[in-house]
Amino acid sequence: MIYPKQELKISRSIEDMKAGGEESIQYTGQGRGCYGPIKVGVTFEGNKIKDVKILEHSESQGVGGIAAEIVADEIVKHQSIAVDAVAGCTKSSTAVLTAVEEALGKAGKNINDYWIEIDKSITQIRGKIEKEADVVIIGAGGAGLAAAVSAHQNGAKVLVLEKMPLVGGNTIISGAAYNAVDPKRQSAQGIEDSIDKHYIQTYEGGDKLAKPELVRTLVEKAYPALEWLESMGMKFRDDIFTVLGALWPRSHKPEKPIGTGYIETYMEYIGKHSNDIEIMLNTKATELLMEGGRVVGIEAENPENIVIAKANYGVVIATGGFSANVNARNHYNHMWPDLTNIKTTNRPGAMGDGAWMAEKIGANLVGMEQIQLLPMGDIETGSLSGNIEQGVEDRIFVNKDGNRFVDEGARRDVMTKALFEQEDTLMWVIVDKHSYPTGDTKNNFDETIDFLLEDGTAYKADTLAELAKKIGVDPDNLIKSIETFNLAVDKKIEDPFGRTLFDNKLDAPPFYAGARMPTVHHTMGGIEINTKAQVLNKEGNIIKGLYAAGEVTGGIHGSNRLGGNAVPETVVFGKIAGESAAKEK
């Protein structure tokens, strides 16, 4: 099986080490990663870089941590610091390069001697290899890995092809919230909920443009799918919250940070069954192979080979959406201002590959114009990291004048449209000590508030007037906005924006602020499927041997996806797709 280890082994920092009977000095350096410094140790044989070790880091396991190892290996392989960053992990990659440069300087080396341009042209003639499995899956993100596990549990041998150098897709970097009606956890918090309520909010929250039967499948199977994850060892916290745009407190938070828990759960299962499940990284599917009106396999390519993957039972497309494809989103966009310069929360692999492959053989694409923007993008990168909110109930948004401008518990499209009407499309998220009782309290992306303050992403003050000064808004407006909000929390007035989701007042210093801007987050349109995850053609008929799951599909969310519904979609329909494909014998 070909896949990276999902847990980075951190080497202990030592300054001197013996190698081959000769003393080899380890020179250290560090660079700033996503969540803190990355420290490396570099050893030499003469002027040759013998080894680059990652000594310390705080990056996400399975994402930045693995990327750091890949970059370190590439530096040694090419004897150069001109290696490429790992796609989707630029900051972690750059931190390693910076750290190695520092180590070179300490060793008295001329950095220019190691700035060697790498020939990236393919000079060798690629070979051709053939693979065969019962179920072949395109994409090793949340939906693809769920499908792989499910297919195996239903007796199939599985091959997964992933074009990126890492597994995880967007799931592994997501906020990870999982919406499900949960009788036990919700009842313990006094939260009333029902399958019908989740259905109505999802269907009406997407302006009734989704396929009702797909919505019903999602909401009915979300909790059983969560139990399926738990049966494989995944753990969720007991406290239920309301993630941005969820409309109701039914969001579950995994014990592990961001989406790593989902991917680690799948990969642990796959690792135990590696004789039956193979994952090929850096292998991009290029064409669906047809025979007698049926999909029978995939043609793919990687740097070494053309790969012909035969599927005895079926092919599952789980390649994600097209949020990172600027041309595609501009082509389909009819809802938003020009999206050319709007960044995305997604990893670079979200290009829509699977949808275009399926369309080429006659699959129907639905709802492609339904593109979701969030108001919560980092102002430099568009990513979700750095966001200081903990949940909907305990924060407000203010514009550059210090005024609230929207119901912060509304639909995501409503909030983002309101943000586009504000100066510079910029807002400040305001929270207080209720969200961060201590400096080491983490946000939903495993970042402590102290780290965000040090990084310059967040601002802190003991009074609202002082906070207003730090972020450049009118102090009187900010104070008035929060006073009005607090009155609404106490039910002394109706909230002027119609907000109904509240918990604590914003009255406990210190106060915190973080800037946010619109970012492309999710594409609701994609391949049309039925409740068995079978792909449908333009006439509404099943394309035999072809299944799809996750964000590559359309018709589940309508015009607006509720916050917290994406991850259960990957689990529910990934599980269904794997099972359906395994049973098509």
Q: Which 3 state secondary structure label does DSSP give 476?
A: helix
Catalytic residue among 216, 395, 412, 499: 412
Q: Above 80 in pLDDT, residue 62? A: no
CA quadruple 376, 380, 384, 388: dihedral sign:
negative
Chain centroid to CA 560? 18
Q: Residue 406 contacts by C-beta under 8 Å, 6 or more apart in sequence?
A: 397, 414, 415, 418, 419, 497
Counting residues of the chain whose pLDDT is more than 70, the rounded percentage is 95
Same domain, 358 and 459: no
Residues 506 and 560 in one domain: no
Count of domains forming the chain = 3
Neighbours of 208 (CB within 10 A): 11
Range 456-461 average pLDDT: 98
**pLDDT value of residue 64:** 82
- What is the mean predicted confidence (pLDDT) over 198-224? 99
**Do residue 355 and residue 399 come from a single domain?**
no
Q: Where do we find the tokens 């740097």?
A: 303
Grade residue 493 by pLDDT with cuts at 50, 70 and 90.
Answer: very high
Digit-coded pLDDT (tens) for 386-427: 999 998 999 999 999 999 999 999 999 999 999 999 999 999
Token pair 């969310």 in the structure block, residue = 557
Q: What is the mean pLDDT of the chain?
A: 93
Residue 242 backbone phi and psi in degrees, to 5? -115, 110
Please report the pLDDT score of residue 446 as a whole number: 87
* Residues 402 and 470 reside in one and the same domain: yes
pLDDT number for residue 15 = 35
490 and 444, same domain (yes or no): yes
With a cut of 80, say whether residue 27 has pLDDT above it.
Answer: yes
Q: Does residue 85 surpass a pLDDT of 60?
A: yes
Residues 358 and 420 in one domain: no
Mean pLDDT value of segment 457-467: 98
Closest residue by Cα to residue 306 from 278, 290, 285: 285
When pLDDT is averaged across residues 149-158 and rounded to a whole number, the result is 99
561 is catalytic: no
| pLDDT above 70 (res 4) | no
Where does a domain end: 519, 553, 575? 519
User: Model confidence at 12, in pLDDT bands (50, 70, 90)?
Assistant: very low
- Classify residue 235 by burial, with Cβ atoms within 10 Å: 0-12, 13-18, 19+: exposed
What is the CB neighbour count within 10 angstroms for residue 351? 20
99 and 30 in contact (C-beta within 8 Å)? yes
Confidence (pTM): 0.87
Mean pLDDT of 278-290: 97
* Separation between Cα atoms, residue 404 and residue 506, nearest integer Å: 14
Could you tell me which residues are beta bridge partners of residue 196? none
**By C-alpha distance, which of 470, 548, 551, 564 is closest to 510?**
470
Q: Provide mean pLDDT across the span 298-309.
A: 95
* CATH (domain of 442): 3.90.700.10
Kindly state the DSSP code that residue 550 receives in the 8-state scheme. G
Asked if the model's pLDDT at residue 508 lies above 70, the reply is yes
Distance CA 358, CA 371 (A): 20
Q: In whole angstroms, what is the distance from residue 184 CA to residue 220 CA?
A: 16
> 470 and 577 share a domain?
no
Is the same domain home to 409 and 540?
Answer: no
Helical (H) or strand (E) element with 500: none
Q: Are residues 171 and 154 in the same domain?
A: yes
Per-residue pLDDT, 21? 34
Q: Is residue 510 domain-resident?
A: yes
The residue segments making up the domain with residue 549 are 148-175+258-370+524-583
Q: Which of 77-86, 198-207, 314-323, 355-364 has the lowest mean pLDDT?
A: 77-86
In this prediction, residue 43 has a pLDDT band, given cuts at 50, 70 and 90, of very high
Task: Note the pLDDT tens digit of each residue in 92-109.
Answer: 888 899 899 889 988 988
Place of tokens 């091959």: 159
Whether 59 has a pLDDT exceeding 90, the answer reads: no
Average pLDDT over residues 480-485: 98
The whole-angstrom separation of Cα 310 and Cα 42 is: 44
Among 471, 494, 519, where does a domain finish?
519
Q: How many residues does the chain have?
A: 585
C-alpha to C-alpha distance for 482 and 186, rounded to whole angstroms: 29
- pLDDT, position 121: 61
Whole-number Å distance between alpha carbons of 51 and 20: 14
Considering the domain architecture, whether residues 402 and 544 belong to the same structural domain is answered as no
d(CA 18, CA 174): 43
pLDDT interval class at 14 (50, 70, 90):
very low
Q: How sure is the predictor about 125, in pLDDT bands with cuts at 50, 70 and 90?
A: low
**Is residue 9 included in any domain, yes or no?**
no
Q: Could you tell me if 473 and 418 are in contact, meaning their C-beta atoms sit under 8 angstroms apart?
A: no
Q: What pLDDT does 580 receive?
A: 99
Domain containing residue 59: CATH number: 3.90.1010.20
Tokens 């292998």 sit at which residue? Answer: 283
Q: Which residues contact 227 (CB under 8 A, 6 or more apart)?
A: none
Residue predicted with more confidence, 459 or 62: 459
Q: How far apart are CA 218 and CA 195, in angstroms?
A: 10
Amino acid at 41: G
Q: H helices within 54-210, ranges in order?
A: 64-78, 90-106, 142-153, 183-188, 195-205
CA 345, CA 52: separation in Å to the nearest integer?
Answer: 30
Q: For residue 124, what pLDDT band results from cuts at 50, 70 and 90?
A: low
Task: Tell me, yes or no, whether 310 and 384 share the same domain.
Answer: no
pLDDT of residue 58: 83
Query: How much is the pLDDT for 356?
Result: 98
Q: Which residues contact 184 (CB under 8 A, 6 or more apart)?
A: none
Whose structure tokens read 């009333």? 192
- Using the 3D structure, point to which of 485, 519, 553 is the last residue of a domain: 519
The tokens describing 4, both together, are 């990276």
Q: What CATH number is given to the structural domain containing 301?
A: 3.50.50.60
Per-residue pLDDT band at 120 (split at 50, 70, 90): low
Residues 334 and 393 in one domain: no
Residue 411 within any structural domain of the chain:
yes
Percent helix, strand and coil across the chain, each rounded to 5?
30, 25, 45
